[in-house]
Amino acid sequence: MTDRLYNAIGLCQKAGKAKSGAFAAENAIRSGKARLVLLEETASEATKAHYEQLCAAHGVPMHIVKTVGKAIGKDARIVMAVTDPAFRDMIERAMNNTDEKRG
């Protein structure tokens, strides 16, 4: 993960425009507040399938990244929902300049 992507994810968290953790991220997706979901590549296949299905059902783009928790300063977190369109765009621009995988 590039510094630019780390910085964008961390800034989003600091600005209060992200919901991290399974419960908070799922609530954001289901309530229509999520604009982008980031899922850590170490998540189990069942977890990846769950979020792919949930995001597809609610029309939310999802990306798989190397790490979520480290970028936001909460190591145990594997999923994050971005709730602001400007931060979504910033993160997607940073991702387009890296080799991160799209989900």
Q: What is the DSSP string of 56-89?
A: HHHT--EEEES-SHHHHT-TT--EEEE--HHHHH
Q: What is residue 100's predicted lDDT score, i.e. its pLDDT?
A: 47
> Residue range 59-75: average pLDDT?
88
Domain 3-102 has CATH 3.40.109.10: no
More confident residue, 97 or 65: 65
Residues of the chain with pLDDT > 70, as a percent, come to 93
> Residue range 85-95: average pLDDT?
94
Q: What is the DSSP string of 14-49?
A: HTT-EEESHHHHHHHHHTT--SEEEEETTS-HHHHH
The identity of residue 71, as a single letter, is A
Domain ranges of the chain: 3-102
d(CA 103, CA 65): 9
Residue 26 reports pLDDT greater than 50:
yes
pLDDT band at 98 (very low <50, low <70, confident <90, very high): low
Let me know if 102 is exposed, middle or buried by CB neighbors in 10 A (0-12, 13-18, 19+): exposed
Q: What is residue 72's predicted lDDT score, i.e. its pLDDT?
A: 84
More confident residue, 102 or 82: 82
Q: What is residue 76's predicted lDDT score, i.e. its pLDDT?
A: 81
Mean pLDDT computed over every residue of the chain: 90
